[in-house]
Amino acid sequence: MAELRSRRSNLAVPGSNPRFLEKAKGLPADQVFLDLEDACAPLAKPGARKNIVAALNEGGWGDKIRTVRVNDWTTEWTFQDVVEVVGGAGAELDCIMLPKVQDAAQVKALDMLLTQIEKANGLEVGRIGIEAQIETAQGLINVNDIAFASDRIETIIFGPADFMASINMKSLVVGALHPDYPGDPFHYILMQILMAARARGVQAIDGPFLQVRDVPAFEEVAKRSAMLGFDGKWVLHPGQIDAANEIYAPSQEDYDHAELILDAYDWATSEAGGKKGSAMLGDEMIDEASRKMALVIAGKGRAAGLSRTSSFTPPES
């Protein structure tokens, strides 16, 4: 299992605001996405491109995943967004986020453009990833094809506000439950995105919660997608970062237990452990299925930077 790149918190930063770009460098978000789309007014987009190139090239981002969200392919800005940002700061960029993805062809078009720019600028071909944002009914219908459209795909992201408009949902509260609906109206959507991401072997990211000062409400919403298996969530305000980092990481207890399961199963299946297909870890029986589940929790814990506080001791024969 490949080591995960932690994306528990995905901080939105408007490219048109140099002060916010500078502040974001010191915040503890796992990923930052410097935004050229909804956070930038049309007249501000050319200047925002230059701000983002300068901020990336100045460095100081630490271990953060550095992503730029360009405009979607139906606009007049997308091509120039990619050309200027990747041509100007491609060596300092990890991913391009493509919003409002409707079908696989749009991902393939971005892949082809990235390849040409990488070749033209002496960059490693294929290193820059693609994050695909699902924000419409059409995009959700095609999410499986979108997930497999390019080797560059690293995440599938839910964009709730535009999606709600796309399906005429009767609500103006983005990312929260509605009192008139006896359940979670986003559950089906989130599961579709999660299944596509997991089938492709990439990460699934939940979208934003717009009531940015209501951290308890953010936590309630985030816990639902984290329980499903999502890897992280967008944060629109620094006050949401710590909550996301905690919620989308395993607890210390669960992380330690997962590592113990891996050690115990590895020993049990070895020559010294008797080459057994199952074994006991305390009062718990573990087997290959247990190992697979533990790999998920251990992988997320390692990505989050957790350290073990217990160790495995083989039982005496």
The enclosing domain of 44 has a CATH number of 3.20.20.60
CA distance 255 to 31: 22
**Do 137 and 15 share a structural domain?**
yes
On whether residue 228 sits in a domain, the answer given is yes
Alpha-carbon distances, residue 33 vs 121, 204, 224, 301, 312 (angstroms): 22, 15, 23, 23, 40
* Cβ-based neighbours of 132, under 8 Å, separated by 6 or more: 97, 98, 101, 107, 146, 147, 149, 153, 155, 156, 157
- Residue 37 DSSP SS3: coil
Q: What is the pLDDT along the chain (317 residues), one digit of tens a residue?
A: 345 689 999 999 999 999 999 999 999 999 999 999 999 999 999 999 999 999 999 999 999 999 999 999 999 999 999 999 999 999 999 999 999 999 999 999 999 999 999 999 999 999 999 999 999 999 999 999 999 999 999 999 999 989 989 999 887 667 677 778 888 889 999 999 999 999 999 999 999 998 889 999 999 999 999 999 999 999 999 999 999 999 999 999 999 999 999 999 998 898 888 888 888 888 899 999 999 999 989 988 998 889 999 998 888 75
**Do 181 and 63 share a structural domain?**
yes
CA distance 229 to 142: 21
**Do 35 and 127 share a structural domain?**
yes
162 labeled binding residue: yes
Q: Which amino acid is located at 86 in the chain?
A: V
Residue 317 has a pLDDT of 59
7 labeled binding residue: no
DSSP state of 265: H
**Do 164 and 43 share a structural domain?**
yes
Question: What is the span of the domain harbouring residue 294?
Answer: 252-304
**Do 230 and 122 share a structural domain?**
yes
**Do 298 and 232 share a structural domain?**
no
Cα torsion through 27, 221, 2, 198, rounded to 10: -140
**Do 165 and 288 share a structural domain?**
no
pTM value is 0.91
Q: How far apart are the first and last CA of the chain?
A: 31
What phi, psi does 280 have (nearest 5°)?
-105, 135
Neighbours of 114 (CB within 10 A): 23
**Do 297 and 160 share a structural domain?**
no
Q: Which of 208, 223, 248 is the last residue of a domain?
A: 248
On whether residue 242 sits in a domain, the answer given is yes
Domain count, the chain: 2
Q: Which of 230, 248, 266 is the last residue of a domain?
A: 248
DSSP state of 316: P
For 37, the token pair is: 């789309």
